[in-house]
């Protein structure tokens, strides 16, 4: 009798936690942007940080929580912060991209940013979204399962973010303005970083090496984030297999691999079992770059995994990573990602499509102008540019969201972004006529009706040169239903789409001279940026904006703006 009451109480409390709609919490953080001195590669420099930390503080929350961050700019320049992977349902106001959803926060200014989470579980991140300030202004954003629910894999002994970063000896703003001024490729970086440290393969960096102590037999959850500016990366751990369990805040079917391929903007969650002889092992990352005409930083960043019971003297082993131009290795990994597609984590891929879009992604060149002093450092004395459907995006002077919301579209942007490229050509042919290289420049957006089901095929091209483009969409995650090399064939390729367990990403690398198709339901009204997450391509114009209109019900309308929007 007593037992059964206790049992029922236990059961109902379990059920209560399981259906825990009320236990969504609001968490608060304070982010102060300020300069701090950091010494790396034998040299000190001042960098812009959040709270003096590099990488910045980790935000953690449970699924469905709301997080409020008081952002205070005590740095020297305009800046904005973006919550990469948070859907911000109906609330684009504090999403962050400068001149898209807000004007920047000026030095001395403040902005209270509300972050609205949805069904994400796993790892997302946050970063600055104004010019190249994100190089040092970024951090992890961990989303735990709702209280009372569990991971769809055995609970790890411990977990930690592994943030891949990129470091230049010069100031990042100097690099940005030099790149914009000369029109050429930016100088390659001086090192890559793991959790802010280059690792001991670089000069003066023995102390600047991240170390992870592990206990034999235990399993660790590594939440790997690619915060690198300009490159896709390979990552691995010597002698250890990695079990991939999530990506971009969504669980995946577990699979094991000796390495991962991760593009800027993406996160990959892996389980690492400390099951090797107690020694020291390197985890390491280096560039994946298929475009052979660009220079790369070919250095390797490392961190050390050290079993607890051990002599410190053995030199660590390096993992064998794929060759830095190994397109196949990159594709093989990306194509292994599958949604978990379980009862608790179902797949809701749209099956009936109401809007089909086909977007080409190109590197371009612009004619060098008189005001450039007639010397530009792009190929053949041009300025490099980039485009989507041959439109190289130009930032407006006031934010698109504010212009849209306050009905000031005219003169600020146009709504005629094309659904397909203006010209058909053999997109991925090895040689293309030079006259295809010149893009149009403009501030054009695509309007989507609320609740439309969108299928968008990205087609990489070989205009100027092919490249891998990690495309990121704000406000949504999307299902990646297919990809391939060469030109997309609309009659054949759709038959091979995965509509059963496609991965649910917010960033996906469109392969070098290849294509990728994504699907999503446009059920989040607002103004949403979509761009290549390679920062030089973003700076050159490889981006556009979706405006998703309000629906008919009050619950499908944009919420009103906060009172403290930074002024334009």
Ligand X SMILES: *[C@@H]1O[C@H](CO)[C@@H](O)[C@H](O)[C@H]1NC(C)=O
List the single partner that 394 binds among ligand X, Cu ion, none, CB under 5 to 8 Å by kind: ligand X
Q: Kindly indicate which of the ranges 33-41, 111-119, 147-155, 391-399 contains the residues binding ligand X, using the contact rule CB under 6 A.
A: 391-399
Q: State how far the Cα of 297 lies from the Cα of 289, in Å rounded to an integer.
A: 10
List the single partner that 534 binds among ligand X, Cu ion, none, CB under 5 to 8 Å by kind: Cu ion
Instruction: Phi first, then psi: give them for residue 182, nearest 5 degrees.
Output: -85, -20
Instruction: Phi first, then psi: give them for residue 152, nearest 5 degrees.
Output: -80, 30
Q: State how far the Cα of 139 lies from the Cα of 129, in Å rounded to an integer.
A: 13
Q: State how far the Cα of 230 lies from the Cα of 510, in Å rounded to an integer.
A: 15
Residue closer to ligand X (CB basis): 148 or 551: 551
Q: Is 341 exposed, middle or buried (0-12, 13-18, 19+ CB in 10 A)?
A: middle
Size of site (CB under 6 A) for ligand X: 48
List the single partner that 408 binds among Cu ion, ligand X, none, CB under 5 to 8 Å by kind: none
Does residue 550 interact with ligand X by CB under 6 A? Answer: no
Residues 131-160 that bind ligand X (CB under 6 A): 131
Residue closer to Cu ion (CB basis): 84 or 469: 469
Residue closer to ligand X (CB basis): 254 or 551: 551
Q: State how far the Cα of 91 lies from the Cα of 129, in Å rounded to an integer.
A: 17
SS (H, E, C) 466-511: CCCEEEEECCCCEEEEEEEECCCCCCCHHHHCCCCCCCEECEEEEC
* Nearest-approach distance from CB 270 to ligand X, in angstroms: 24
Does residue 290 interact with Cu ion by CB under 5 A? Answer: no
* Nearest-approach distance from CB 66 to ligand X, in angstroms: 22
Residue choice 556, 559, 561, 562 for contact with ligand X (CB under 6 A): 556
Does residue 472 interact with Cu ion by CB under 5 A? Answer: no
What is each CA distance from 550 to 156, 405, 413, 492, 525, in whole angstroms?
A: 42, 11, 19, 35, 5
List the single partner that 551 binds among ligand X, Cu ion, none, CB under 5 to 8 Å by kind: ligand X
Residue choice 76, 434, 490, 564 for contact with ligand X (CB under 6 A): 434
Q: Kindly indicate which of the ranges 43-51, 209-217, 310-318, 439-447 contains the residues binding ligand X, using the contact rule CB under 6 A.
A: 439-447
Q: Which two structure tokens, joined as six digits, stand for 532?
A: 């290549």
Q: State how far the Cα of 256 lies from the Cα of 125, in Å rounded to an integer.
A: 24
Residue closer to ligand X (CB basis): 278 or 561: 561
Does residue 104 interact with ligand X by CB under 6 A? Answer: yes
Does residue 84 interact with Cu ion by CB under 5 A? Answer: no
Residue choice 95, 98, 166, 269 for contact with ligand X (CB under 6 A): 98
Q: State how far the Cα of 334 lies from the Cα of 288, in Å rounded to an integer.
A: 13
Does residue 231 interact with ligand X by CB under 6 A? Answer: no
Q: Kindly indicate which of the ranges 236-244, 280-288, 446-454, 534-542 contains the residues binding Cu ion, using the contact rule CB under 5 A.
A: 534-542
Does residue 468 interact with ligand X by CB under 6 A? Answer: no
List the single partner that 254 binds among ligand X, Cu ion, none, CB under 5 to 8 Å by kind: none
Does residue 568 interact with ligand X by CB under 6 A? Answer: yes
Q: Which two structure tokens, joined as six digits, stand for 192?
A: 């890559």
Residue choice 59, 271, 349, 464 for contact with ligand X (CB under 6 A): 464
Q: Kindly indicate which of the ranges 50-58, 152-160, 392-400, 472-480 contains the residues binding ligand X, using the contact rule CB under 6 A.
A: 392-400
Q: How far is C-alpha 132 from the chain's CA centre?
A: 14
Q: Residue 253: how many CB atoms within 10 A of its CB?
A: 16
Residue closer to ligand X (CB basis): 274 or 391: 391
Q: Kindly indicate which of the ranges 77-85, 419-427, 468-476, 491-499 contains the residues binding Cu ion, using the contact rule CB under 5 A.
A: 468-476
User: In the bound complex, which residue of the shown chain has the CB atom lying closest to ligand X?
Assistant: 78
What is the pairing mode between strands 59-62 and 138-144?
parallel
Q: State how far the Cα of 295 lies from the Cα of 258, in Å rounded to an integer.
A: 26
Residues sharing a CB contact under 8 Å with residue 492, sequence separation 6 or more, in sequence order:
none
Residue choice 537, 539, 544, 558 for contact with Cu ion (CB under 5 A): 537
Element (H, E) at 284: strand 280-288
Residue choice 436, 499, 559, 565 for contact with ligand X (CB under 6 A): 436
Does residue 246 interact with ligand X by CB under 6 A? Answer: no
Does residue 49 interact with ligand X by CB under 6 A? Answer: no
Q: State how far the Cα of 470 lies from the Cα of 245, in Å rounded to an integer.
A: 20
List the single partner that 24 binds among Cu ion, ligand X, none, CB under 5 to 8 Å by kind: none
> Which residue, among 132, 153, 104, has the nearest Cα to 228 in the 3D structure?
132
Residue choice 130, 230, 252, 517 for contact with ligand X (CB under 6 A): 130
Does residue 534 interact with Cu ion by CB under 5 A? Answer: yes
Q: State how far the Cα of 435 lies from the Cα of 96, in Å rounded to an integer.
A: 36
Residue closer to ligand X (CB basis): 4 or 380: 380
- Give 129's Cβ-side CA count (13 Å radius): 27
Q: State how far the Cα of 559 lies from the Cα of 449, in Å rounded to an integer.
A: 17
Q: State how far the Cα of 431 lies from the Cα of 452, in Å rounded to an integer.
A: 38
Residue choice 33, 532, 548, 558 for contact with Cu ion (CB under 5 A): 532
Does residue 174 interact with ligand X by CB under 6 A? Answer: yes
Question: Under a CB-based contact definition with an 8 Å cutoff, are residues 219 and 154 in contact?
Answer: yes
List the single partner that 532 binds among Cu ion, ligand X, none, CB under 5 to 8 Å by kind: Cu ion
The radius of gyration computed from the CA coordinates of the chain, to the nearest angstrom, equals 23
Sheet with 43-50, strands from edge to edge, namely 43-50, 26-40, 66-73, 110-116
Dmax (CA) of the chain: 91
Residue closer to ligand X (CB basis): 319 or 421: 421
* Nearest-approach distance from CB 478 to Cu ion, in angstroms: 17
Residue choice 256, 397, 415, 416 for contact with ligand X (CB under 6 A): 397
Q: Which two structure tokens, joined as six digits, stand for 430?
A: 């090895």
Question: Under a CB-based contact definition with an 8 Å cutoff, are residues 443 and 412 in contact?
Answer: yes
Residues that bind ligand X (CB under 6 A): 77-79, 98, 103-104, 106, 130-131, 170, 174-175, 178, 180, 187, 298, 323-325, 328, 365, 379-380, 390, 394, 396-397, 421-423, 426, 429-430, 434-440, 443, 451, 463-464, 551, 553, 556, 568
């Amino acid at each position: 009798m007593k037992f059964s009451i206790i049992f029922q109480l236990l059961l109902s409390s379990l059920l209560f936690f399981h259906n825990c709609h009320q236990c969504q919490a609001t968490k608060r953080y304070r982010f102060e942007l300020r300069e701090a001195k950091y010494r790396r590669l034998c040299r000190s420099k001042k960098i812009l940080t959040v709270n003096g930390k590099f990488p910045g503080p980790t935000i953690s929350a449970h699924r469905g929580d709301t997080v409020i961050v008081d952002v205070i700019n005590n740095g020297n320049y305009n800046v904005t912060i973006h919550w990469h992977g948070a859907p911000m349902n109906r609330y684009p106001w504090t999403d962050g991209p400068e001149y898209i959803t807000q004007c920047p926060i000026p030095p001395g200014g403040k902005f209270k940013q509300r972050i609205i989470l949805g069904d994400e579980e796993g790892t997302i991140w946050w970063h600055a979204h104004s010019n190249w300030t994100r190089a040092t202004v970024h951090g992890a954003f961990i989303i735990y399962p709702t209280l009372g629910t569990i991971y769809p894999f055995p609970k790890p002994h411990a977990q930690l973010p592994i943030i891949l970063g990129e470091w230049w000896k010069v100031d990042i703003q100097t690099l940005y303005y030099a790149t914009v001024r000369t029109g050429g490729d930016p100088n390659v970086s001086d090192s890559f970083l793991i959790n802010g440290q280059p690792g001991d393969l670089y000069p003066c960096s023995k102390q600047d090496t991240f170390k992870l102590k592990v206990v034999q037999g235990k399993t660790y959850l590594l939440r790997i984030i690619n915060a690198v500016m300009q490159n896709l990366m390979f990552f691995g751990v010597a002698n250890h297999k990695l079990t991939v369990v999530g990506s971009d805040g969504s669980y995946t079917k577990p699979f094991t691999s000796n390495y991962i391929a991760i593009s800027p903007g993406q996160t990959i969650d892996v389980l690492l079992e400390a099951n090797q002889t107690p020694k020291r092992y390197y985890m390491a990352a280096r560039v994946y770059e298929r475009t052979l005409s660009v220079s790369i930083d070919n250095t390797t960043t490392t961190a050390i995994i050290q079993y607890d019971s051990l002599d410190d003297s053995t030199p660590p082993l390096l993992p064998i990573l794929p060759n830095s131009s190994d397109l196949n290795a990159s594709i093989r990994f990306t194509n292994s990602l599958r949604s978990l597609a379980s009862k608790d984590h179902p797949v809701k891929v749209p099956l009936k499509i109401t809007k089909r879009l086909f977007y080409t992604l190109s590197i371009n060149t612009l004619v060098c102008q008189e005001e450039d002093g007639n010397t530009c450092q792009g190929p053949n004395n041009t300025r490099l540019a980039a485009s989507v459907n041959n439109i190289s995006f130009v930032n407006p002077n006031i934010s698109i969201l504010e212009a849209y919301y306050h009905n000031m579209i005219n003169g600020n942007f146009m709504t005629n972004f094309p659904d397909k490229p203006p010209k058909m050509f053999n997109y991925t042919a090895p040689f293309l006529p030079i006259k295809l290289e010149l893009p149009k420049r403009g501030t054009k957006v695509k309007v989507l009706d609320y609740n439309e089901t969108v299928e968008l095929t990205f087609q990489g091209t070989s205009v100027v040169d092919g490249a891998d483009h990690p495309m990121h969409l704000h406000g949504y995650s999307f299902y990646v239903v297919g990809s391939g090399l060469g030109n997309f064939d609309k009659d054949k390729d759709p038959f091979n789409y995965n509509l059963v367990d496609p991965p649910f990403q917010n960033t996906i690398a469109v392969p070098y001279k290849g294509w990728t198709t994504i699907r999503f339901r446009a059920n989040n009204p607002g103004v949403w940026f979509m761009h290549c997450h390679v920062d030089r391509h973003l700076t050159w114009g490889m981006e556009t904006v979706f405006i998703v209109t309000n629906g008919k019900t009050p619950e499908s309308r944009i919420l009103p703006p906060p009172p403290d929007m930074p002024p334009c």
